[in-house]
Every structure is written in structure tokens, then in C-alpha cells.
């Protein structure tokens, strides 16, 4: 069996050793209501829409909190949940905000910030314990989200590789059949079959190039998966 036919198996068996973290949570500030507010900042490889949907799902599942600003007809930059209770942060009711925007390199940037009502925004100086609780939630979300996201990406890429390998096998089978039939045909018909075989081989060459590109993509995904660690 040719090398490119078994590339999926090679990918699944290949191991990676890396040191870089896939995500990093930083203390930051964000302009909100014309003032700088303390926040927690993290960047992901996924699109803002994907991150927003995952954030909404996570809060709903783990804290029974419904986020506003994202849905079938709504896609706001800052998504919110007002007057909610999250014991992991505080026993007081609060407002939570997440600004999710595009970041360089086809990534997204999430700014997570909270308040106890008008102008009482939680930060590391005024509410250190609550701010630490926010970071724990963001860490928990990041771990769950990225494990699922990169797992889906690996499955998608592997499926595409397998599809390309299948196409190559079919083309090779057609090439063999055309070659065999051409021996029994007139020179004019045989010439047409030869041209078709050339076209099929060129198609195979392009598919092999695409497979090589996908192998690099999935290697990068595996590296990212290995770097998913809390911080």
C-alpha cells in the first residue's frame, strides 16, 4: 500500500512533545461605558461566533445562566447576563460580561469582566477573591472548550484526508481500467483514454499536495491539544 494511503494511521499513531501552552489568561482592562474596567483576557484559535456560542452553553450548563446578545438574529460584540448568581465568584448577585472580538491570525479575543451593579466592577485590587473566582471559571471554560474544539478539528481534518485517499484510490482504479481497455481500442480512442489518465493523475497529484497540507494542519492541532493546561 502506498505511503499516502496510510497517512491517517501515521497521524493517529504519531506522538508529540511540546512545552508551549495553548492558551494564557492575562489580567487586563477593557473600555466599557467610557471607563477602563478590570478584566481577564484570553485568546483562542476559534472564531468569535464559535467562542460566544460555547460561552453561552458553558454558563447555561454549569451555572444555569442564560447569556443575552447571541442568537439566531443577534450577535453582539459584548454578551451579558445581568442580575445572576454564581457562587464560584460570590454569594452576591452580579452582572457578567464577555467581549468577544476578532484577533490577528484568524483568532478571537475574549475579555471577561463582572460587576456588583453600577460602577462596582470586580478587579484584583478591590475584590481579589472574587477576581480569582472569575479566573477559575475562565480556566474551566477554556479547558472544556479547547478540548472539544481541537478534538472536532482533528476529526474534521482526518475525515478530509480519508476522503482524499479514497478519491486517489478510485482514480488509480480508473487509470488501470482505462489502460487495459485502451489496448483493445483504436489508436484514436486509446489516445483519448490516455489523455483522461493524464488528467486523473494530475488530479491525484493535487490531492496528494492537499493531503500534505492537512498532515501539517493536524500536527499543529495535536500540538495545541497537548498544550491545553490550566494557568
User: 17-76 pLDDT, tens per residue?
Assistant: 445 789 999 999 999 999 999 999 999 999 999 999 999 999 999 999 999 988 765 668
Q: For residues 36-71, b (16+ Cβ closer than 10 Å) or e, as one string?
A: ebbbbbbbbbbebebbbbbbbebbeeebeeebebbe
182-200 pLDDT, tens digit per residue, is 888 888 778 888 899 999 9
74 vs 26, 78, 152, CA distance in Å?
A: 28, 11, 25
204-215 pLDDT, tens digit per residue, is 999 999 999 999
What is the chain's length?
231
12 vs 9, 68, 154, 207, CA distance in Å?
A: 5, 40, 10, 20
Q: Is the pLDDT of residue 180 over 80?
A: yes
**Model confidence, pTM:** 0.83
Chain centroid, CA 134 distance in Å: 23
Instruction: Show the DSSP H helices in 96-127 as ranges.
Output: none
Of residues 20 and 13, the one with the higher pLDDT is 20
- Is the separation of the CB atoms in 105 and 57 below 8 Å? no
Sign of the torsion formed by the C-alpha atoms of 196, 201, 207 and 213? negative
150-162 pLDDT, tens digit per residue, is 999 999 999 999 9
Amino acid at each position: 500500500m502506498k505511503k499516502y494511503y496510510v497517512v491517517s494511521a501515521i497521524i493517529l499513531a504519531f506522538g508529540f512533545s511540546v512545552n508551549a501552552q495553548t492558551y494564557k489568561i492575562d489580567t487586563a482592562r477593557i473600555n466599557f461605558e467610557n471607563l477602563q474596567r478590570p478584566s481577564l483576557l484570553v485568546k483562542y484559535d476559534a472564531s468569535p461566533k464559535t467562542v460566544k456560542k460555547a460561552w453561552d452553553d458553558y454558563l447555561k450548563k454549569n451555572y444555569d445562566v442564560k447569556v443575552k446578545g447571541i442568537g439566531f438574529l443577534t450577535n453582539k460584540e459584548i454578551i451579558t447576563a445581568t442580575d445572576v448568581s454564581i457562587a464560584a465568584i460570590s454569594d452576591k448577585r452580579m452582572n457578567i460580561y464577555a467581549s468577544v472580538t476578532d484577533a490577528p491570525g484568524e483568532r478571537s479575543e475574549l475579555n471577561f469582566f463582572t460587576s456588583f451593579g453600577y460602577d462596582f466592577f470586580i478587579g484584583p485590587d478591590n475584590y481579589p477573591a472574587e477576581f480569582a473566582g472569575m479566573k477559575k471559571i475562565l480556566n474551566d471554560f477554556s479547558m472544556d472548550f479547547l478540548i472539544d474544539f481541537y478534538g472536532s478539528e482533528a476529526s474534521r481534518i482526518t475525515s478530509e484526508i480519508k476522503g482524499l485517499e479514497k478519491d486517489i484510490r478510485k482514480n488509480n482504479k480508473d487509470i488501470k481500467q482505462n489502460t487495459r481497455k485502451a489496448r483493445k481500442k483504436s489508436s484514436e480512442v486509446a489516445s483519448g483514454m490516455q489523455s483522461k489518465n493524464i488528467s486523473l493523475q494530475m488530479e491525484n497529484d493535487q490531492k496528494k499536495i492537499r493531503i500534505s497540507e492537512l498532515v501539517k494542519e493536524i500536527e499543529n492541532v495535536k500540538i495545541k491539544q497537548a498544550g491545553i493546561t490550566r494557568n
